[in-house]
């Protein structure tokens, strides 16, 4: 112990207690500018997202059609339309409401609308990316501040 005291090293506990709570770290922040968006990347991303939305739409329409058909809603609507358009003395209209609510027609129109949505969403997103690039060349883009979390 004498040798330790001669070297200036104390073997005793420090007089001030150490704080048990650590000081909060300061978060790092990065200030970035989105100056360009790659149109090819936007086109691929929007195509995949619109394809997923199409699948969700098709499944939702199929399930909804099955539920409504099981409840007899389409039969009731078909009977109502037939009774309203039924003429008295040969004045019948050439309407066939049974075909309006057939599964092939409903799901066919759903597929057509879904395919058009895929084309429109993909093309409009790509055009939007190109327009953003043009505007970003003029004004410099969008400033984004990113911060690091613990």
**In the predicted model, what is the mean pLDDT of residues 128-144?**
93
- Whether the pTM exceeds 0.85: the reply is no
Say if residue 14's pLDDT is above 60: no
> What integer pLDDT is reported at residue 137 of this predicted model?
92
Say if residue 84's pLDDT is above 60: yes
> What integer pLDDT is reported at residue 8 of this predicted model?
47
Strand-pairing partners, residue 87, are none
**Residues in contact with 10: Cβ distance below 8 Å, sequence separation at least 6, in sequence order:** 4
Which among 130, 137, 141, 134 has a CA at the least distance from the CA of 38? 130
Tokens (6 digits) for 73:
């809603």
Say if residue 80's pLDDT is above 90: no
Per-residue DSSP letters for the chain?
A: -HHHHHTT---SPPSSPPPSSPPPPPPPEEEEEE----HHHHHHHHHHHHHHHHHHHHHHHHHHHHHHHHHTHHHHHHHHHHHHH--SSS------HHHHT-HHHHHHHHHHHHHHHHHHHHHHHHHHHHHHHHHHHHH--EEEEEE---
> What integer pLDDT is reported at residue 23 of this predicted model?
52
> Domain extents for the chain?
36-82+97-150
What is the tens place of the pLDDT at every residue in 17-73? 555 555 556 778 888 888 899 999 999 999 999 999 999 999 999 999 999 989 988
What is the tens place of the pLDDT at every residue in 96-125? 777 788 889 999 999 999 999 999 999 999
Which among 128, 148, 132 has a CA at the least distance from the CA of 35? 132
Say if residue 88's pLDDT is above 70: no
Question: How buried is 122 (Cβ within 10 angstroms: 0-12 exposed, 13-18 middle, 19+ buried)?
Answer: buried
Q: Cα–Cα distance between 65 and 127 in angstroms, integer? A: 35
Whether the Cβ atoms of residue 114 and residue 54 lie closer than 8 Å to each other:
yes
Q: Which residue has the higher pLDDT, 95 or 88?
A: 95
């Amino acid at each position: 112990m004498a040798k330790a005291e001669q070297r200036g090293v104390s073997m005793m506990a420090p007089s001030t207690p150490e704080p048990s709570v650590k000081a909060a770290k300061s978060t790092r922040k990065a200030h970035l500018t989105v100056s360009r968006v790659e149109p090819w990347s936007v086109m691929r991303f929007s195509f995949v997202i619109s394809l997923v939305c199409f699948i969700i739409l098709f499944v939702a329409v199929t399930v909804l059609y099955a539920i409504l058909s099981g409840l007899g809603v389409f039969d009731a609507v078909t009977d109502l339309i037939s009774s309203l358009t039924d003429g008295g003395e040969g004045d019948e209209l050439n309407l066939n409401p049974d075909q309006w609510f057939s599964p092939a027609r409903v799901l066919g129109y759903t597929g057509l609308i879904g395919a058009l949505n895929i084309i429109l969403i993909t093309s409009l997103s790509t055009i939007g990316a190109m327009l953003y690039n043009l505007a970003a060349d003029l004004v410099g883009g969008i400033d984004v501040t990113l911060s690091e979390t613990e």
